[in-house]
């Protein structure tokens, strides 16, 4: 039970439920693949406290690994085949070779994140062996899907972690986090590194402050920031799941990169929006257009390929440059102030920064929805709330709130009631613990 306590805390009922969950996963693995030794790995999802849409601009982020995770039971194979199944029968089992160019499943298929991890390890690190594996990620202890809590990245991480360990590739957690970020390019999204780093490198009871700009040796600065024990992080799911956020996300990436390319015409030293830290904010107003078309960018020598690195974005898309870049620049400043506020115990100041972050995401980055706004309004009216904001990529998903434990029961009931009245929907709440990073949890012999 010690390994489970390290991941999930000391609550006896929680540990009992987790032990039953692990036993169910191992039994399902044996039913599918037969008796014999196996290993069990876990990789957590995450909630981002502040620093949204900054990681792919080499900015700052402050996420927390959740005690909701993806489990995988594995047994190594001596050939180059991965057989992958899921404890949930709605996810069809599959198999694929471990080769430098892994055949893709249809777009949206659940196995593509695992395929991306295998392909990257094969192409960059010489992996040529497979495994039999069973995934267990169902709620209430799995990462909620489609809620902006990185269930997909947790799947990528747990597959890469297991392959690295069972076949002795020797990658450190830091190297593996970087590799997992690139592995997700396989599915067509060009995000940053935050989700993979927090899933692998977190510490129990702490948020992870991460500087997403590597130093000259290619390493990333990070710091574990303890969270206040007398407050809880509450994740509230709006129940809204956008059907296809990929093109929307890739458009935001393109808008930010277009802003950098345009700034470079006047400021040649600018390589990312991070470089604007030393410039006054009105530099953006002065040098960037409010909006621009892809055709106009081409006329200035900036191609779509430069902006997306292969990500999918419709050619007719109009890009909104100034507001998107303003969000990133101001959000970076807020993350630095938020870390200082947490360290000094200024939870009122930290909560105010969460609110400013949300307003920027709503106004400048345009990733909120009416349901998310209803949740934020409902949360702000509850006693004991320090701050709240949209968390994750947006277009639905979740709000995260910092709530005093004294007011926690009333908050959960109050926000459910208020959201039902305002939006006509049911809000799901998750009181989260800050969990450690991905790891092997246990081995079974029979």
Q: What is the pLDDT along the chain (446 residues), one digit of tens a residue?
A: 567 998 998 899 999 999 999 999 999 999 999 999 999 999 999 999 999 999 989 999 999 999 999 999 999 999 999 999 999 999 999 999 999 999 999 988 999 999 999 999 999 999 999 999 999 999 999 998 878 888 999 999 999 999 999 999 999 999 999 999 999 988 877 677 999 999 999 999 999 999 999 998 888 999 999 999 999 999 999 998 866 677 888 889 999 999 999 999 999 999 999 999 889 999 988 999 999 998 899 889 888 777 876 666 677 778 999 999 999 999 999 999 999 999 999 999 999 999 999 999 999 999 999 999 999 999 999 999 999 999 988 999 999 999 999 999 999 999 999 999 988 999 999 998 999 999 999 999 87
Would you call 284 exposed, middle or buried from its count of C-beta atoms within 10 A (0-12, 13-18, 19+)? Answer: buried
Q: Which residues contact 288 (CB under 8 A, 6 or more apart)?
A: 259, 262, 263, 321, 322, 325
Q: Would you give the DSSP letter of residue 365?
A: S
CA distance 46 to 31: 31
Q: Where in the chain is the domain with CATH 3.30.230.10?
A: 2-227+436-444
DSSP 3-state of 355: helix
Residues 6+ apart with CB under 8 A from 270: 260, 263, 264, 276
Output the pLDDT for position 309: 63
The reported pLDDT for the residue numbered 316 is 76
Backbone angles phi, psi at 107, to 5 degrees: -55, 135
- What CATH code is assigned to 236-243+341-432? 3.30.70.890
Check residue 386 and give its pLDDT. 96
Give catalytic residues, as residue numbers: 195
Strand-pair category, 222-226 with 231-241: unpaired
Q: Where are the beta strands (DSSP E) in 77-190?
A: 81-86, 94-97, 131-136
Q: What is the model's pLDDT at position 245?
A: 77
Instruction: Provide the 8-state DSSP code for 140.
Output: T
Q: Which two tokens stand for residue 346?
A: 């200024």
Give span(s): CATH 3.30.70.890, the chain: 236-243+341-432
Q: Which fold has domain 2-227+436-444?
A: Ribosomal Protein S5; domain 2 (3.30.230)
Tell me, what DSSP letter sits at residue 115?
A: H
Q: Given this model, what pLDDT does residue 183 score?
A: 94
């Amino acid at each position: 039970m010690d390994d489970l306590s390290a991941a999930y805390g000391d609550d006896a009922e929680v540990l009992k439920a987790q032990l039953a969950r692990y036993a169910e996963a191992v039994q399902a693995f044996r039913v599918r693949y037969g008796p014999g030794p196996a290993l069990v790995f876990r990789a957590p999802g995450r909630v981002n406290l502040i620093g949204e849409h900054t990681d792919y601009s080499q900015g700052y982020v402050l996420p927390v690994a959740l005690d909701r995770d993806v489990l995988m039971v594995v047994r190594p194979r001596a050939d180059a085949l991965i057989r992958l199944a899921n404890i949930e029968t709605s996810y069809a089992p599959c198999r694929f070779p471990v080769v430098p160019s892994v055949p893709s499943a249809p777009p949206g298929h659940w196995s593509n994140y695992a395929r991306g991890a295998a392909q990257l390890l094969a192409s960059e690190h010489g992996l040529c062996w497979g495994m039999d594996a069973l995934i267990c990620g169902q709620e209430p202890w799995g990462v909620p899907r489609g809620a902006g809590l990185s269930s997909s990245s947790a799947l990528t991480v747990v597959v890469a972690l297991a392959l690295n360990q069972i076949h002795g590739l020797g990658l450190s957690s830091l190297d593996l986090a970087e590799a997992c970020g690139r592995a997700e390019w396989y599915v067509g999204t060009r995000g940053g590194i935050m989700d993979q780093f927090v899933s692998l490198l977190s510490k129990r009871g702490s948020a992870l402050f991460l500087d997403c700009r590597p130093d000259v040796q290619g390493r990333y600065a990070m710091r574990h920031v303890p969270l206040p024990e007398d407050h809880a992080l509450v994740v509230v799911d709006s129940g809204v799941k956008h059907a296809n956020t990929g093109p929307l996300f890739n458009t935001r990436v393109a808008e930010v990169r277009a802003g950098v390319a345009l700034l470079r015409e006047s400021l040649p030293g600018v390589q990312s929006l991070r470089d604007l830290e030393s410039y006054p904010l009105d530099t953006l107003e002065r040098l960037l257009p409010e909006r621009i078309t892809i055709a106009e960018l081409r006329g200035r020598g900036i191609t779509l390929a430069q902006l997306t690195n292969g990500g999918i974005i419709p050619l007719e898309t109009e890009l909104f440059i100034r507001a998107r870049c303003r969000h990133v620049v101001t959000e970076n400043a807020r993350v630095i102030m938020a870390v200082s506020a947490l360290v000094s115990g200024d939870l009122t100041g930290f909560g105010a920064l969460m609110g400013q972050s949300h307003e920027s995401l709503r106004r400048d980055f345009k990733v909120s929805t009416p349901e998310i706004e209803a949740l934020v309004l409902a949360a702000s009216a509850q006693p004991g709330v320090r701050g709240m904001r949209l968390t994750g990529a947006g277009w639905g998903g979740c709000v995260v709130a910092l709530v005093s434990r004294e007011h926690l029961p009333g908050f959960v009931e109050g926000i459910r009631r208020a959201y039902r009245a305002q939006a006509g929907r049911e809000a799901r709440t998750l009181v989260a613990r800050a969990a450690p990073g991905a790891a092997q949890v246990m081995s079974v012999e029979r």
